[in-house]
Amino acid sequence: MANSIFRLFSIVLRVICFAFLLFASPSVSQQSSLSSENAKKWRHHSFEELAIFFEDTTEVKDQTAVNEISSLMLKIAADEKKSEYYIKTYQLLAEECRRSGNYRNGIDNINKSIRFFTRKTSNSCKASVYLTKASLSLKVDDYGGAMNNNLKALKLAKKEKNKQLQITANHNIASIHYQMNNVKRALDIYHKNAILLKTDKLIKSNKEDQILFIRTLIAISEAYTGLEEYDKALSYCNDVIKFSEIFGHYNYKAYGYLGLSDVYSLTCRDQKALLSLQEAKKYDEYNSDNTFHSLVHLYRARTFFYQRNYLKSITELDEIGDYLSDPTFSSLNAHEINVLYARSYQKLYDLERASLYSNRAFELFQDNKKRLSAVNTSLIQYDTEGLQEEIKTWSSSARKHKKKFQISIITAVLLLLSFLAFYRKQQKKNKLKYESAIINLNKEANSVIPDNHHETSKNEIQSIENRKVRELLKKLKIFESEEWFLDNNSSLNEVAKKLRTNTSYLSKVINQYKKQSFTKYLTELRLNYAMTRLKNDTKFRSYTIKSIAKEVGFNSSEPFAKAFKKKTGIYPSYFIRELERN
């Protein structure tokens, strides 16, 4: 009986194995057939024709085809003994690795490409390879390597006088500065690139230059957003839309609208932010570019959060989904996503989820301390740590409410006392400066400028010179007493004409006898007049600072206030307040 069962089991097992082989064999033969079909399809193509396969970036490539075609290219390189073919093949493989997120393999391939450099290799070719390596270095957080390789590329591009490669290298260097939080330096480079591209004749016909120009405008708008110069950011976003339309690269308009929505959401113009995002979603980038797709939903989430619509904010964040695990996804965007999740759940009193996302945000910050970007690192740390502390406080508020209230009161009192102490100290300093200004004003009012000077003439020329000086000093006294200095057109040239002398002689006499430059002399007269009149004329004190400034010869309030502060140590507004009190 046992033997019969065993034989039956053996038969069944053989049938199953046979069936498995029967159904499995077609797929095996199909795979080998596919491989042979690829080989047959590409075998008789030239190196340049094979390279086109890699240069087409519109579709994801089958890895088997990548391996087979690159092998054919390397075989041609070996048969023809051409180092430039080796260089090109490994560079194309490296770029393919970058597109697929396999950055380490990409670096291995680009290093192989560099090893085939010879004296005959053109500088443009080398520069292009170093640009690829720089891009890969950045993907693995090697900012030093990225900068060094971009600088190598820039140096080689300059030697070759290849403007396009120079601009590309400069653009990459600016991007690194931007990510290292040196936004102003990045902005300088972007602006220089924009000027070069805009004035270049190729801008009218060269597609690559046109796209690089638009990308530069996008980068400038992002930089201005990071610097919180929102009006300028909006202007450049509109330029992105305008030039994308002019050049016919319509999909880039999406980035212009995306930039507009970023600014609008940050400045609480919610309706405009949502309308701009609707425009951005009309373009292919929304479906083809993971980062673009994610940013659309991130900015919508941010807008809904500021509208206090926390459930909608969470729904938008959920739309981002698996893109967070994409290796090309910005860590800073991932950080903001987790912070928005945490804050939204916090507002909905779901403290468990709020704490979960807050911890994720904090972990992202810890993992990326060295990766600075347009967002100030200290602000990220402050927001993240503050958020964690806030959620922790909310979780235990029932038990610690009384203690927290007491600590808050004590802290508030201490802060108030500190502020009052500082304020009193500052007021005391300002009071002393005010009193000193009044004393100096009284001294200057009582001082008399002598009409004559001691005669030291030893000959006729010296005697004539002194008479001229005395005459000019008398004229200056009239200039002062008649208050001609209140005319805001009292330039050195105009005063010289009025006193019937030349500018150089007038300047020389003022320097020698007034012990100051003409500009300082004029400013001192105006300030002394202003202070004296403010002291004596209560109606004059009721004027605005702008009106006072114009009344005493200044063109606007700003230079008047600065000069007043420099002379007295206090602003005119404080001086007037103290006069009113006394």
Q: What is the DSSP string of 46-89?
A: -HHHHHHHHH--SSPPPHHHHHHHHHHHHHHHHHHT-HHHHHHH
Joined tokens for residue 149:
């390789």
Collapsed DSSP state (helix, strand, coil) of residue 180? coil
User: Among the residues of 227-252, which ranges form H helices?
Assistant: 230-247
Q: What pLDDT is stored for residue 378 in this prediction? A: 33
Residues near 175 by beta carbon (within 8 Å), at least 6 away in sequence: 186, 219
User: What is the crossing angle of helices 83-100 and 63-80, to 10°?
Assistant: 170
pLDDT of res. 39: 57
pLDDT band at 377 (very low <50, low <70, confident <90, very high): very low
Q: What is the pLDDT of residue 131?
A: 93
Token couple for 468 = 């001229």
Q: Tell whether pTM > 0.85.
A: no
For residue 7, is pLDDT > 80? no
Predicted confidence (pLDDT) at residue 114 exceeds the cutoff of 50? yes
What is the CB neighbour count within 10 angstroms for residue 318?
11
Burial zone of 578 (CB within 10 Å; 0-12 exposed, 13-18 middle, 19+ buried):
middle
End-to-end alpha carbon distance in the chain: 124
CA angle 180, 145, 171 (to 5 degrees): 55
Question: Token pair of 337, please?
Answer: 């996503």
Range in 29-33, 302-306, 320-324 with the lowest mean pLDDT: 29-33
For residues 211 and 234, give the distance between their C-alpha atoms in angstroms, rounded to a whole number. 20
- pLDDT interval class at 451 (50, 70, 90): very low
Please report the sign of the dihedral spanned by the C-alpha atoms of residue 253, residue 259, residue 261, residue 263. Answer: negative
Residues in the chain, how many? 582
Q: CA 133, CA 138: separation in Å to the nearest integer?
A: 9
Mean pLDDT of 408-431: 70
Using pLDDT thresholds of 50, 70 and 90, give the confidence band for residue 220. very high
Per-position DSSP letters for 181-193, written without gaps between them: T-HHHHHHHHHHH
**The CATH number of the domain covering residues in 434-443+461-581:** 1.10.10.60
For residue 260, the model assigns a pLDDT of 93
Residue-averaged pLDDT of the chain: 77
Query: Tens of pLDDT along 14-68?
Result: 444 434 333 333 333 333 333 445 556 677 788 888 888 777 665 557 788 888 8
> Mean of the pLDDT values across residues 242-266?
90
Q: Which of 188-202, 336-350, 433-447, 564-578 has the lowest mean pLDDT?
A: 433-447
Residue 336: CB partners within 8 Å, gap ≥ 6? Answer: 298, 302
- Would you say the C-alpha torsion 5, 11, 13, 15 has a positive or negative sign? negative
For residues 255 and 175, which has the higher predicted lDDT (pLDDT)?
Answer: 255
Residue 130: what residue type? Answer: Y
Long-range contacts of 39-48 (CB under 8 A, 24+ apart): 39/68, 39/72, 42/68, 42/69, 42/72, 43/72, 45/72, 46/76, 47/73, 47/76, 47/77, 47/80, 47/85, 47/88
Instruction: Answer yes or no: is pLDDT of 185 > 50.
Output: yes
How big is the CA angle at 157 (ends 154 and 161), to the nearest 5 degrees? 135
> What contacts 209, CB < 8 A, 6 or more positions away?
164, 167, 197, 200, 202, 203
Which residue type sits at 180? M
State the pLDDT confidence band at 201, using cuts at 50, 70 and 90. low
More confident residue, 323 or 407: 407
Upper half-sphere CA count for residue 486 (Cβ side, 13 Å):
13
Average pLDDT on 547-555 reads 89
Percent helix, percent strand, percent coil in the chain, to nearest 5: 80, 0, 20
Using only C-alpha atoms, the chain has a radius of gyration, in whole angstroms, of 38
Task: Give the rounded percent of residues in the chain with a pLDDT score beyond 70.
Answer: 74
pLDDT at 48: 86
Distance CA 552, CA 536 (A): 15
Q: Read off the pLDDT of residues 385-400 as tens digits, 9 standing for 90 and up.
A: 445 545 555 555 545 6
pLDDT in the model for residue 108 = 94
Q: How confident is the model at residue 400, as a pLDDT? A: 60
pLDDT at 421: 67
Sequence-ordered alpha helix ranges (H) in 323-456: 331-347, 351-367, 377-395, 397-446
Is pLDDT of 228 > 70? yes
CA distance 114 to 129: 7
C-alpha span between 297 and 319 (Å, rounded): 7
Lowest-pLDDT range of 387-391, 464-468, 575-579: 387-391
CA distance to 94, 207, 326, per residue, from 54 (Å): 10, 19, 22
Cβ partners under 8 Å of residue 431, min gap 6: 578
> Tens digit of pLDDT for each residue in 501-530?
888 888 888 888 888 898 899 988 999 898
Quote the pLDDT of residue 397: 56
Tell me: pLDDT of 309 over 60: yes
Contact call for residues 225 and 263 (beta carbons, < 8 A): yes
* Cα-based torsion angle of the residue sequence 154, 160, 163, 165 in order, rounded to the nearest 10 degrees: -50
Does the structure show a pLDDT above 70 at 446? Answer: no
Amino acid code (one letter) for 541: R
Please check whether residue 152 is in contact with residue 130, taking contact to mean a CB–CB distance below 8 angstroms: yes
What average pLDDT does range 555-570 have in this prediction?
A: 88
For 451-458, what is the mean pLDDT?
A: 38
**What's the whole-number mean pLDDT along residues 233-259?**
91
Tokens of 70: 């690159």
